[in-house]
Structure 1
Amino acid sequence: MMLKSTPITLLFLFFFSGHAFSSASFQMHFELLHRHSPKLDQNTWPKTKITQQERFKDLLQRDGIRQKVILHKLTLRRKAWDRETPTPSNASGSAVSVEMEIHSGADYGIGEYFVEFKVGTPSQKFMLIADTGSDLTWMNCKYRRSDTMRRRLHHGRVFHAERSSSFKTVPCLSEMCKVELMNLFSLARCPTPLTPCAYDFRYFDGSAALGIFANETITVGLTNGRKTRLHDVLIGCSESFRGQSFQGADGVLGLGFSKYSFSFKAAKTFGGIFSYCLVDHLSHKNVSNYLTFGSNDPKNKPNGMQFTKLVLGVLTPFYAVNIIGISVGAKMLEIPAAVWDVNGVGGTILDSGTSLTFLAVPAYIPVMSALKESLVKFKKLEVDIGPLKYCFNSTGFEESVVPKLRFHFTDEAKLEPPVKSYVIDAADGVKCLGFVSTAWPGVSVIGNIMQQNHLWEFDLVQSNLGFYPSTCTLN
């Protein structure tokens, strides 16, 4: 874990949806490691080399599963929306008050970035997937009643609950189990009042996980060099698993917008703000991605940092944004406004667990057409790289031939990603346009490759998203 000392002035208490958010005089950092990072190879991956094309196919396969999950989850959300009369977010950033129908377990394990996480007393260390689309933080786990626990991952670490003095199960007879955790797949069975509240996740790829809910203590490092503990953090103790979804991971760090996510719990302690910065996913330099809780003093924010509103509580647990259009070069593309309407049948989310960027068909077609015009002199290739529809021989390619692509937000903010984030190296001598079409009606997804080389700051108090081009180094 790499630390950076950045003092913050103690300001005041924030109140958000009935929860107090306190500002702190420090931050905490987690180092983020990409799924294909050499640092992860040493601990969790077989010592075998894979080609760039094989690596890309792996990302696309995971993206495919992820997209099905997002569509399924948001379909359920739309049904709940139709049955209820929601209260829109107000100017202070409060989330909608209606309880939405949520099914989040299916997308655990598809994310691409990992963090080191310390759980229990004394602490036990794990590598968890950092996932902005997941509510629950969970890890491979053995509870004392599970003498016949089935092993899920032969190379994964296991949390031994009986070794932690702070491990407290959630009783199955409690209101929390019977009502609040139903959206996290809690089970109705309750043979005795003190039996732990259990869950049963089912996944789109045929995988399944069973476990129990508990409250635990999390140990975190601060930017002043010290450590602190976060108490009563809800975790999932996954005792049984089958399938391939979680290859290389010990579990998931839930960063979604939800009462029980780790981001919500940690943000209450560190000023209501968290951020991350992702270096180039192909980088071989000794640099670190990072996940931070707490904010810099406003005086230290980068000049030119742009802000747009976060739409919270509508596409729960995802972080949605209000886009009004996409331009390529100087031309604003003709895309129906309904594609971006988060309160209708469209909308856009930022997702750390999706690699590529998925666009609903009415946006995908004009974006691809506009970009292909600049690439006609390069030979188009028919290569088997999943759903990527336009790949070409990159001999002689220079980024300057491609017009700048920009995402335009309702409040005049503009995201201008580097060309390498949408004209992507897919194999030796092969580049592809890094967009994938998704069904319409449907939600578009800005993936982690499009987000790379930017600092992203999520302000859960003011419902603001800040972003700024960055090298993403901690030095």
Structure 2
Amino acid sequence: MPAFHHAGSVVLVLFAVFLPAAVVYSSLPTTLTLERAFPVNKRVELSELIARDRVRHRRILQGIVDFPVEGTYNPYTVGLYFTRVKLGTPPKEFFVQIDTGSDVLWVTCNPCNGCPKESGLNIALNFFDPSASSTASLVSCSDKICNLALQTADGGCSSQNSQCSYTFQYGDGSGTTGYYVSDMLSLEAVLGNSLVANSSAPIIFGCSNYQSGDLTKPDRAVDGIFGFGQHDLSVISQLSSRGITPKIFSHCLIGANSGGGVLVFGEIVEPNIVYSPLVPNQPHYNLNLQSIAVNGQILPIDPAVFATSSNRGTIIDSGTTLAYLAAEAYDPFVSAVSHMGTIS
């Protein structure tokens, strides 16, 4: 979601299961029998070898897939976080804003009405052209993935157009319209000891041919938005459903002066991380906020203000620059901070 405004919400860990490895010690010699995957006298078709290789790549990628993060929190400079994705064959790089409040990955396509051609972020903007990728294909209205889009009211089809299209409207009033494309997403899997395995996987993403509102402004323009919501159309859900990556992602931000950070498909394991459980069965990533304390003193705020209900609750949103509080919590918070002399 564009900076300064509400787009939705964040998840650090959706689901994780760890099975401890069994360790067995024995002084007796052990013999392991090795067998060939294919008998010597069996003719193996190239397609079968490719299929086995794809399965092997999927096993490799069941770990950490790394995306570098750029940008900062500062609303007076960048005010957003973005990463790079490579789409198509040959791969083409795009800068996309990280947004856990929306579901779909989309990038600007050629041609595009109202789309910025320059960016104040010192990045070169790109346009995706499906005809220039040897692996791209358009998603038709009869495709089952289009039915998923229609269920969210984001997708659309008409008698004049057989392509599966979409329209997204964000909380700041900006929006984008386009159509869905299937193509390859390049992945870099971290295997440990600084080893990286390059691979790719087919995904469905949006091809934007119209933008409005803040999306058209060049000062903080990027190539698109990388949605990390819970819907089946999100990239994290698509890759997880195929067994390529786990349905876990981590968004780690570096200190205020450095900016950036890292985004991974997988879990970052650190001993001092404190986890907060998410509220289940919510359209966004909701937390159970219980209270706010200033200088060690809990503020007199009714806990019901933070309760998750229809159009209420506390969400984490990587696409929103500022924190927003309901008036019942905002007023006592500002009053407490003001009495500390930290703001004018």
Please indicate, yes or no, whether the TM-score normalized by the shorter chain is above 0.5: yes
Task: Give the number of the structure whose alpha-carbon radius of gyration is greater.
Answer: 2
C-alpha separation between the residues in 2 aligned to 1:265 and 1:173? 19
C-alpha separation between the residues in 1 aligned to 2:331 and 2:179? 45
Q: Is the 2:63–2:265 Cα contact (8 Å) retained in structure 1?
A: no
Residues 222, 176 of structure 1: CA spacing in aligned structure 2 closer, same or farther, 3 A cutoff? closer
Write the deviation string for residues 192-247 of structure 1: whole angstroms up to 9, x where unpaired: 6xx2112234556665432111222100112131211122x120011233444254
C-alpha separation between the residues in 2 aligned to 1:201 and 1:10? 37
C-alpha separation between the residues in 1 aligned to 2:324 and 2:157? 36
Q: Does 1:55 align with 2:80?
A: no
Question: What is the 5 A alignment of 1:44-443?
Answer: 55=76, 59=79, 112-142=80-110, 150=113, 152-155=115-118, 156-178=125-147, 180-191=149-160, 195-202=162-169, 207-223=174-190, 224-231=195-202, 233-246=203-216, 247=218, 248-267=221-240, 269-281=244-256, 283=257, 285=258, 288-296=260-268, 301-314=269-282, 316=283, 318-343=284-309, 346-375=312-341, 391-392=343-344
Higher relative contact order (CA 8 A, sep 6+): 2
**C-alpha displacement at 1:26, in angstroms?**
3.6
Residue 71 of structure 2 aligns with which residue?
A: 34
Q: When the two structures are aligned, how many residues end up with a matched partner?
A: 276
What's the secondary structure of 2:333's corresponding residue?
helix
C-alpha separation between the residues in 2 aligned to 1:341 and 1:205? 24
Residues 245, 279 of structure 1: CA spacing in aligned structure 2 closer, same or farther, 3 A cutoff? same
**C-alpha displacement at 1:157, in angstroms?**
0.9
**C-alpha displacement at 1:118, in angstroms?**
0.2
Residues 197, 113 of structure 1: CA spacing in aligned structure 2 closer, same or farther, 3 A cutoff? same
Could you list the runs of 5+ residues in structure 2 that have no partner in the other structure? 1-16, 21-57, 119-124
**C-alpha displacement at 1:34, in angstroms?**
0.7
Q: Is the 1:325–1:333 Cα contact (8 Å) retained in structure 2?
A: yes
C-alpha separation between the residues in 2 aligned to 1:345 and 1:127? 31
Say what the alpha-carbon RMSD is for the aligned residues.
Answer: 3.1
C-alpha separation between the residues in 2 aligned to 1:151 and 1:129? 18
What's the secondary structure of 1:303's corresponding residue?
coil
Residues 198, 303 of structure 1: CA spacing in aligned structure 2 closer, same or farther, 3 A cutoff? closer
What's the secondary structure of 1:264's corresponding residue?
helix
Moved beyond 6 Å, runs of 4+: none
C-alpha separation between the residues in 1 aligned to 2:320 and 2:174? 19
What's the secondary structure of 1:310's corresponding residue?
coil
Q: Is the 1:10–1:25 Cα contact (8 Å) retained in structure 2?
A: no
Residue 453 of structure 1 aligns with which residue?
A: none
Write the deviation string for residues 162-216 of structure 1: whole angstroms up to 9, x where unpaired: 1212222221244543564342522231336xx2112234556665432111222
What's the secondary structure of 2:304's corresponding residue?
helix
Residues 275, 179 of structure 1: CA spacing in aligned structure 2 closer, same or farther, 3 A cutoff? closer
Could you list the runs of 5+ residues in structure 1 that have no partner in the other structure? 1-8, 13-20, 37-51, 60-111, 379-390, 393-475
Residue 432 of structure 1 aligns with which residue?
A: none
Residues 331, 35 of structure 1: CA spacing in aligned structure 2 closer, same or farther, 3 A cutoff? closer
What's the secondary structure of 1:135's corresponding residue?
coil
- Structure 1 letter corresponding to 2:292: I
Q: Is the 1:23–1:270 Cα contact (8 Å) retained in structure 2?
A: no
- Of all paired residues, the percent bearing the same amino acid is 26
TM-score w.r.t. length of structure 1: 0.52
TM-score w.r.t. length of structure 2: 0.70
Q: Is the 1:324–1:340 Cα contact (8 Å) retained in structure 2?
A: yes
**C-alpha displacement at 1:252, in angstroms?**
0.8
What's the secondary structure of 1:325's corresponding residue?
coil
Residues 240, 225 of structure 1: CA spacing in aligned structure 2 closer, same or farther, 3 A cutoff? same
C-alpha separation between the residues in 2 aligned to 1:178 and 1:197? 9
